[in-house]
Amino acid sequence: MQATLPRLVPTVRRWAGWKLQVAKAAIGPHGVVRRRLGVAEPAFLKVDGTCPICGPGAHFVSEHSWLRDHFLCSRCGSIPRERALMATIQSFRPNWHQLTIHESSPGFRGVSPLLKRRAPGYSCSYFDETKPLGAMLSDLDARNENIEAMTFPDRSFDIFITQDVFEHLFDPERAIREISRVLRLNGILFMTVPLVNRAAPTSRRAERHGGEIVYLKEAQYHGDPISAKGALVVTDWGFDIDERLATASGMQARIVEIDDLERGIRAELNEVVVMENRSDWITG
Ligand SMILES: [Zn+2]
């Protein structure tokens, strides 16, 4: 469906905002302009290397000690978890650009635009409760899908991607079963999710009973690419996430940790969860 001009405005505004962020990084105190002039200011961390998203000749810089949100690639504007995700995809499925990929709630920089540009089989979805499921959200060039009850037929995709989505789901077990259903045999899920409970098992911050949200801990919100309100954090995940989601879905799960400064992959809470519909695992 052709997007109309008024519906395109929010998308253009988000794209322009991201481009502005990249431009600001270029002319900022550690940016390419000052580096060329030899007057760049000292940063908390800076290194030249190869960005898994935008390629060789990259410059990674952070002005802050909290690298997860601040260690940017000065060219593509990506953050470490996005580079860790792309490196993991490249490692497990180097032919990703030939595969059928679906991403739930993509971001507007980093991995999502790269996959959209380079993989003809890429599609994505957001969830708007006010609109019919399975319909196109033309202003976002995406389908309207509830990850806990998707309208796709079984075995539709080779790769499924979620970036910092699972901490916001009220029924993550149902969502992982749905992802397993829409993935083909040997299909694979790549998930970034903050494992904030570093030394404790997974715990809930909120539950939904009927239409009511019951808060077990103080309400906490993360930024949401399509909502100014932000997304409520429902689960504080721990390192038992692989076991919990494997038990719920029958998929094989593992947690990938990469620390590689040359690729700009260093940060707190930077794990990637990888889950596969393995034929030998399912029948074994
Ligand atoms: Zn980059």
pLDDT along the chain (284 residues), means of 10: 45 66 71 71 88 97 91 94 98 98 94 96 94 92 96 98 96 97 97 96 95 93 75 96 97 97 96 90 49
In the chain, where are the structural domains located? 5-78, 81-283
Classify residue 141 as left (phi > 0), alpha (psi -120 to 50) or beta: left
Contact between 117 and 126 (Cβ < 8 Å): no
Instruction: Please give the pLDDT value at position 27.
Output: 73
Distance from Cα 30 to the centre of ligand 1, integer Å: 15
Instruction: Please give the pLDDT value at position 12.
Output: 62
The CATH number fitting domain 81-283, selected from 3.90.79.10, 1.10.3720.10, 3.40.50.150, 3.10.20.30:
3.40.50.150
Distance from Cα 105 to the centre of ligand 1, integer Å: 21
Residues in the chain: 284
* pTM metric for this prediction: 0.85
Read off the tokens for 151. Answer: 């309208």
**Can you tell me which residue has the tokens 């098992």?**
201
- Calpha distance 29→63 (Å, rounded): 9
Instruction: Please give the pLDDT value at position 16.
Output: 72
- Calpha distance 274→148 (Å, rounded): 19
- Calpha distance 182→161 (Å, rounded): 12
Distance from Cα 79 to the centre of ligand 1, integer Å: 9
Instruction: Please give the pLDDT value at position 223.
Output: 77
Distance from Cα 57 to the centre of ligand 1, integer Å: 9
Distance from Cα 260 to the centre of ligand 1, integer Å: 14
Distance from Cα 270 to the centre of ligand 1, integer Å: 17
Instruction: Please give the pLDDT value at position 2.
Output: 37
- Calpha distance 179→125 (Å, rounded): 13
Distance from Cα 60 to the centre of ligand 1, integer Å: 8
Handedness of CA 214, 217, 218, 220 (dihedral sign): negative
CA gyration radius, the chain: 19
- Calpha distance 148→141 (Å, rounded): 21
Distance from Cα 262 to the centre of ligand 1, integer Å: 12
Distance from Cα 108 to the centre of ligand 1, integer Å: 14
Distance from Cα 268 to the centre of ligand 1, integer Å: 19
Distance from Cα 209 to the centre of ligand 1, integer Å: 42
Distance from Cα 24 to the centre of ligand 1, integer Å: 15
Distance from Cα 80 to the centre of ligand 1, integer Å: 10
Read off the tokens for 53. Answer: 């998203």
Distance from Cα 73 to the centre of ligand 1, integer Å: 5
Distance from Cα 78 to the centre of ligand 1, integer Å: 6
Distance from Cα 261 to the centre of ligand 1, integer Å: 13
